[in-house]
Amino acid sequence: MGFDDGEPVFADKGHDHAQCKARAISGAEAICLSLDLRLTDLRRQVLEIIWSSHKPIGAYDILESLSAQRGRVAPPTVYRALDFLVSHGIVHRIETLNAFVGCREPGPDHDGQFLICSDCGVAAELNDPQMMAAVVRSIRHAGFQPVRQTIEVSGLCPECLEQSRGE
């Protein structure tokens, strides 16, 4: 299930998040290098802000954080950077939250499936081929040609679930 990197779907509380972020930046650099894209300062800063946690962050929260770094910034600046990052599979948009989250395995043309904790706010990305296959199979029966899929499940992450059982 999920990625084949052996990592848990939900990073535990004490994990080395600096490493998460560093790996994400490296991945973005690799993509831009291979596709001849430009990871400008602005885009890199936005990506770093998004990776400041595993919780999806809204465009205007990004804007605020960005303004602290480079002075007054207007919405289009943020949205353009987001468009770039999302269109190249470096960041995902969470439709149910109007928010953005970093991709663990960046690359073109993948939609992922997201588990979003309604308690603590963290989001985890799956990329389960069996789930995707089940969805596509069901859809094809309807004569529908899928292009883009949005799968977002809200609920309780393992930690918050554990906590709720304790009470």
Partner DNA sequence: AAAGGTATGTTATAGTGTATCGTTCGCGTG
Partner DNA sequence: CACGCGAACGATACACTATAACATACCTTT
Binding site for a second copy (CB under 8 A): 1-2, 8-10, 95-96, 113, 115, 118, 124, 126, 128, 130-131, 133-135, 138-139, 141-158, 161
Neighbouring C-beta atoms of residue 23, cutoff 10 Å: 14
Structure tokens of 130?
């069996």
Residue 144 within binding range of DNA, rule CB under 7 A:
no
The residues in 9-38 that bind DNA, with binding defined as CB under 7 A, are: 37-38
Residue 157 within binding range of Zn ion, rule CB under 5 A:
yes
Q: Which of 9, 11, 25, 86 binds Zn ion (CB under 5 A)?
A: 11
* 94 within 8 A of 76, measured Cβ to Cβ: no
Residue 23 bridge partners (DSSP): none
Q: Output 20 or 37, the one with its CB closest to Zn ion.
A: 20
* 106 within 8 A of 86, measured Cβ to Cβ: no
The residues in 109-138 that bind Zn ion, with binding defined as CB under 5 A, are: 117, 119-120
Nearest alpha-carbon partner for 160 in 116, 120, 104:
120
Neighbouring C-beta atoms of residue 133, cutoff 10 Å: 10
Q: How far, in Å, are 12, 23, 52, 123, 147 from residue 16 at the CA level?
A: 9, 11, 12, 17, 36
Neighbouring C-beta atoms of residue 75, cutoff 10 Å: 11
Measured from the CB of residue 122, what is the shortest distance to DNA in angstroms? 17
Measured from the CB of residue 4, what is the shortest distance to DNA in angstroms? 31
Residue 17 within binding range of Zn ion, rule CB under 5 A:
yes
Measured from the CB of residue 155, what is the shortest distance to DNA in angstroms? 19
* 89 within 8 A of 107, measured Cβ to Cβ: yes
Q: Which of 49, 50, 73, 115 binds DNA (CB under 7 A)?
A: 73
Measured from the CB of residue 58, what is the shortest distance to Zn ion in angstroms? 18
Which residues are at the interface with DNA (CB under 7 A)? 37-38, 40-43, 58-61, 70, 72-77, 79-81, 84, 98-99
